[in-house]
Amino acid sequence: MMNPTETIRSIQNNIAQVIKGKPAAVEMTVVCLLARGHLLLEDVPGVGKTTLAHSLARSLDCSFKRIQFTSDLLPSDIVGVSIFNRQKQAFEFMPGPIFANIVLADEINRTTPKTQSSLLEAMSEAQISVDNQTYPLGQPFMVIATQNPAEYHGTFPLPESQLDRFLMKLRLGYPMPEEEKKVLERTPSLHPAEELRPIVTAQDVLDLQAQADNIFMDESLTDYLLSIVQATRQSELLALGVSTRGALALNRATKALALARGRTYCLPDDIRELAPIVLSHRVMVARAQGLRSRGFEQAESIIRDIVDSVPVPV
Amino acid sequence: MSLDQAFRVTSILLAAVSFITLFLESHLPGWLTFLTGVALILALVRVTESNSDSSPETRTGLPTAVWNILVILGFFGFLVDSLMSGELLPAGVRFLLVLMVIKLFNLRCFRDYLHLHVISVVVMLAAAALGADVWYFLLFLVYLFVGVWTLLLLGITKQLEDPDTPAPALASQRETRGSYDRVTSQVFQLANGLALFVFGVTLLLFFALPRLQGGFYQNGQGAAIRTAGFSDAVDLGSIGPIKRDPRVVMRVEPSGRAPDGKGRLYLRGIAFDHYDGRSWVNQLSRRRVVRETGPGLFALNGSQGERGRPERPSLQLKIFLEPLDTPVLFGAPFMEAVSGNLPAVQVDVNGSFYLSRPSATPVEYVAVSKSTAVLPADLQPSPVVYHEAFLRHFIQIPARSDRIAALARTVVGQERTPYGQAMAIQDHLARNYRYSLEIPRAEQANPLEEFLFNRKTGYCEHYATAMVIMLRTLGVPARLVTGFLATEWNEYGNYYVVRQQDAHAWVEVHLPHSGWIVMDPTPPSEDIGDVISPWQGWASMVDHIRLLWNRVVVQFSAADQLAIVRGVQIGSATIGQKVWGPTSRWFPPPTSWQERIVDLYDRSTTGILAAGFIAILTGLCLFMWLGWKRSRYRRFFTKASVQNDRHAVAKLYTDMILYLSSKGVQKPANTGPLQFLDTIRTQWTGAFPLATTITELYCRERFGRARLTSDEYTVAQNKLDRLMSLTREQDGETEKTGAGNGI
């Protein structure tokens, strides 16, 4: 395999052919993959959330399944179902769409909590249980979920405890006018993501993930990270601070980002950059006003303020 | 020519000079000579042709691993070579040249040149060990000049440039420092002047400093063991005080016949002829030089009036003498020859051997002696007329010896022969007097009469003096001898240990036909009981190890070396016959080599040989150390020091932050290093490239667990210095970049 940094960069470039003008979001998506995390994309419809997930899956030589979440979706529609096989005189498990490397859970907040939780269990355990049988999921396994913050009719918002299962929560935002122009000028022959060629295999992804684990984080940086986490727990603006799982997530994401940036060690800048993305969906704002998306924006700015208040180790 | 290029050229010249020296001093195989020559010429051509602005020597096609494998192959070749030829040194030399060739093809970075320097030094030393002809001196002079040049250029180039700075930065440096980085006539004169100066100082030291052998300074003159009884005048009773001193004076290894280890061995020091009632004086102490009849062999002519005697068995003693305050060379009576690495040997009329001055280092020599036996003729009374001068010395008695003379006459009774009289007196003294060291060293008027008639106790000196004087009153020539009586046998090393407490005095009596014979009236002492302590065996083993150390390491001489070389040669020849015998058709036996080397060993002087040998070892150690220093495994071994100075660059970084904030570029406490770098770029573009390097090194060291090399530290230091010399215009956006920042 190539130099890991070059590999990661070529994945990013590949995705960037489709997702124009969003290099930061693309980078974070790849970092999330390297950190063995799941990604929650929250933004208004039509800014390329699904396309981003699709192009990531296309860039990897991996299996990809898409589940459109609706209010009548059942858990068995996700994990699969046991069907009686007449020839064999036995129940046979038919795997659901969750048995894929990259799973796109579109509009995750549109389905019932029961179905949501079956997905979330698969996300945290990397395995599913049906009829007292446990089936491990393939590796790498990454769930990219999208949700729409603008519309709240008929939705079931994910509680904080379940949001915690996502490593990052990203917003794409509208592209710049020039980039948007490029999108419009593209020949509309196919879905743009279909034209992408795979860059790496599933094994390569696993290797990269293993390399990200080996990135060195200095003790002072661990302390720095923990003091940020500690500050979220003590902040008066937040009703609920970051959990230990949140600290762990930030740690893993920092290492993956350092690998993506071509370093063998983490820097304080990595933590500063990732903290709002990794932490802000794990906290509960004390006096949230208005829409939940507003609350999320508030949380993000509170996290930023907290990060700014913690001195960087020199 | 730029300094950088000049450094490369002189480095290769250095290797070339050492190679030529080696070529002239020893016989190298043709292929190796050819290969090294070609490698040197190629390297020289490449270095002189290559434009120093481009990064040099990136053209070597083979990867490093191949070269490493070649080095390892070379090493195995060296092992096989040394086994086959049985000669460690020439095989080592060939291996060195292989290493040099590999390095010459592989000159990539700065360290490779340093390795080349080390190899050339070792080659030079090897050449010194293989021969010392006059052209070595001339080539050494050339080597010295080139060496000074190289070191000078090394210093200058190291100062001027950061070793890891890429070429563009070098080029821009050149714009600002153009006047320095060329070899100007001033530099030329300076280098040659330095070389001359070094050469002059070396010559001065060469002649002014004494040759060192052994631990010259470890045991100064003042630390030599103080002996008693071995000066030209000895007071009676002076041996007594040292009779309890257990310090080892010498170790004596009898050679030839297998020693039994039992019994007593007399080690003769000097003889005294004149007694004045209080003290003994050696009036015959005028010494003459013993001529060196062979290499290291000082033998008397055997013309001491002993012709016509039957040949007596000779006794060879190998003696390791500690540094004493006397120049006397001890040996069994009567010494005829001394051999060893001694500057000069003298002998006095009494047959005592001396060095020209007391040695400050341990002395090792072989003393060859022939004992005398009493001839049957001396058992019959026969009138003998001695020479008058002889009698003047050896029957001299102090005044007022009448009581002693009377005692002597009663003791001898009817004995007529000198031998019978001597035996009678010896018996009388041994039987009727008591040995004791408890003698007050009082200032008596006549200590001898005190001993004979009043106290009747005394020790060896008293006994011997009494016997000599009594014999002399009877007209029998006799003299007093001081020396050591060795009794302590070390069974581990099969040698005698002689201590201060073994100091002894005895008598030599001259018989008309037999000559001088040894007699000892002192009874065996009772108070020095041989108590076998449990430590005895342990102590003698330790003593044996010390002797081995002295012999094998401290006193390692050319003769020992030659013995080893010959031993290895014989051993390997037998091995070689077995191993290579069937294949000797393809491999010609390396006899010419061996003969030549042994010949060279024979001819070359001790100092150069030993120094060369040690220096080769040192050089190899240095070489390995350099390699080790480079390896990353060093980190495991130097963890402590990593902890100590791991924040060296962090300190520089803090300095940079302080300086920048004084210039108005603030680093808030909550910004990371990369973010701050962005701040610098927007606020002070001129400082950005320099700050980039410092920040990168800082991050690697501070957060990346990396241990920076001193080179990298120097780079950071230089960048910081240059950063601090920049001036910031408040309008940061329009500021021009400073010199050397063309990144």
Tell me the DSSP string of B230-298.
Answer: -SSEEETT-SGGGGG---EEEEEEEESSPP---S-EEEEEEEE-EE-SSEEE-TT--EEEEPEEETTEE
Question: Tokens at residue A238, please?
Answer: 């937040």
Residue B297 — pLDDT band, cuts 50, 70, 90? confident
Q: Is the pLDDT of residue A293 over 60?
A: no
Give the gap in angstroms from C-alpha A270 to the nearest C-alpha of chain B: 8
What is the predicted pLDDT for the residue at B587? Answer: 46
Distance CA B354, CA B365 (A): 12
Residue B157 — pLDDT band, cuts 50, 70, 90? confident
* Nearest-CB residue to B670 (from A216, A270, A309): A309
Higher-pLDDT residue of B415, B508: B508
What is the predicted pLDDT for the residue at B442? Answer: 59
Give the gap in angstroms from C-alpha A74 to the nearest C-alpha of chain B: 47
What is the predicted pLDDT for the residue at B220? Answer: 41
Burial of B586 (0-12, 13-18, 19+ CB in 10 A): exposed
3-state secondary structure B417-446: CHHHHHHHHHHHHHHHCEECCCCCCCCCCC
**Domain extents in chain A:** 1-200, 214-314
A311/B669 touch (CB, cutoff 8 Å), yes or no: yes
Residue B733 — pLDDT band, cuts 50, 70, 90? very low
What is the predicted pLDDT for the residue at B352? Answer: 87
Q: Where are the alpha helices (DSSP H) in B433-557?
A: 447-449, 460-473, 535-549
DSSP state of B524: P
B671/A312 touch (CB, cutoff 8 Å), yes or no: yes
Which overall architecture, per CATH, does domain A214-314 show?
Orthogonal Bundle (1.10)
Q: Is the pLDDT of residue B736 over 50?
A: no
Q: How many CB pairs under 8 A join A and B?
A: 54
Report chain B's terminal Cα–Cα distance, integer Å. 26
Question: Tokens at residue B556, please?
Answer: 């390692």
Contacts of A220 in chain B (CB under 8 A): 703
Q: Is the pLDDT of residue A113 over 70?
A: yes
What is the predicted pLDDT for the residue at B170? Answer: 39
* Nearest-CB residue to A266 (from B657, B670, B703): B703
Nearest residue to A157 via CA among A21, A288, A32: A288
What is the predicted pLDDT for the residue at B568? Answer: 67
Q: Which chain B residue has its CA at the smallest distance from A269's CA?
A: B672
Distance CA B121, CA B137 (A): 15
Question: Tokens at residue A197, please?
Answer: 């060629």
What is the predicted pLDDT for the residue at B628? Answer: 61
Distance CA B523, CA B462 (A): 12
Which of B642, B667, B703 has the most A C-beta neighbours within 10 Å, making it the best mutation to test the interface with A?
B703
Q: Which amino acid is at B366?
A: V
* Pick from B106-110, B260-264, B428-432, B623-627: least confident: B260-264
Mean pLDDT of B169-185: 46
Q: Which chain A residue has its CA at the smallest distance from B677's CA?
A: A269
Do residues A276 and A303 lie in contact, with contact meaning Cβ atoms separated by under 8 Å?
A: yes
CA B289 to chain CA mean position, Å: 28
Q: Is the pLDDT of residue B720 over 70?
A: yes
Q: Is the pLDDT of residue B168 over 60?
A: no
Question: Tokens at residue A147, please?
Answer: 């949700």
Q: Which amino acid is at B99?
A: L
A218/B675 touch (CB, cutoff 8 Å), yes or no: no
What is the predicted pLDDT for the residue at B177? Answer: 41
Do residues B144 and B616 lie in contact, with contact meaning Cβ atoms separated by under 8 Å?
A: no
Structure confidence by residue, pLDDT tens digits, B509-548? 888 888 888 888 888 765 444 555 667 777 778 888 877 7
Q: Is the pLDDT of residue B159 over 80?
A: no
A312/B702 touch (CB, cutoff 8 Å), yes or no: no
* Nearest-CB residue to A216 (from B671, B673, B704): B704
Average of per-residue pLDDT values in chain B: 74
Higher-pLDDT residue of B630, B123: B123
Do residues A49 and A43 lie in contact, with contact meaning Cβ atoms separated by under 8 Å?
A: yes
Domain B226-555 has CATH 3.40.630.30: no
What is the predicted pLDDT for the residue at B741? Answer: 40
* Nearest-CB residue to A312 (from B672, B704, B705): B672
Residue B641 — pLDDT band, cuts 50, 70, 90? very low
Structure confidence by residue, pLDDT tens digits, B351-401? 888 888 888 777 888 888 887 778 887 788 777 777 777 888 888 888 777
B702/A218 touch (CB, cutoff 8 Å), yes or no: yes
What is the predicted pLDDT for the residue at B598? Answer: 55
DSSP state of B399: S
Residue B418 — pLDDT band, cuts 50, 70, 90? confident
Sequence-distant (6+) residues with CB within 8 A of A41 are A49, A52, A53, A144, A145, A146, A147, A169, A170, A171, A172
Higher-pLDDT residue of B180, A17: A17
Rounded percentage of chain B residues whose pLDDT exceeds 70: 72
Contacts of A269 in chain B (CB under 8 A): 672-675
Under DSSP, is residue B569 helix (H, G, I), strand (E, B) or coil? helix
What is the predicted pLDDT for the residue at A23? Answer: 83
What is the predicted pLDDT for the residue at B174? Answer: 39
Higher-pLDDT residue of A199, B50: A199
Give the gap in angstroms from C-alpha B696 to the nearest C-alpha of chain A: 11
What is the predicted pLDDT for the residue at B681? Answer: 82
Report CA torsion sign: A255, A257, A258, A259: positive
B674/A265 touch (CB, cutoff 8 Å), yes or no: no
CA distances from B394 to B269, B286, B390 (A): 18, 16, 6
* Pick from B69-83, B321-335, B382-396: least confident: B382-396
Distance CA B614, CA B129 (A): 10
- Beta strands A200-201 and A60-61 are parallel
ipTM rounded to 2 decimals: 0.77
Q: Is the pLDDT of residue B244 over 80?
A: no
Q: Directed axis angle between helix A219-234 and helix A244-260, to 10°?
A: 140
**Domain extents in chain B:** 3-163+590-630, 226-555, 640-734
Residue B549 — pLDDT band, cuts 50, 70, 90? confident
Mean pLDDT of A211-240: 85
What is the predicted pLDDT for the residue at B182? Answer: 58
Mean pLDDT of A271-280: 87
Look at the pTM and tell me if it is higher than 0.80. Answer: no
* Pick from A4-18, B76-90, B254-268: least confident: B254-268
Strands of the B279-281 sheet, one edge to the other: B233-235, B279-281, B274-275
Mean pLDDT of B47-76: 68
Q: Is the pLDDT of residue B683 over 70?
A: yes
Contacts of B653 in chain A (CB under 8 A): 314
Q: Is the pLDDT of residue B57 over 50?
A: no
Fold of A1-200: Rossmann fold (3.40.50)
DSSP state of B727: -
Higher-pLDDT residue of B42, B190: B42
Q: Is the pLDDT of residue B714 over 70?
A: yes
Under DSSP, is residue B363 helix (H, G, I), strand (E, B) or coil? strand
Higher-pLDDT residue of B477, B649: B477
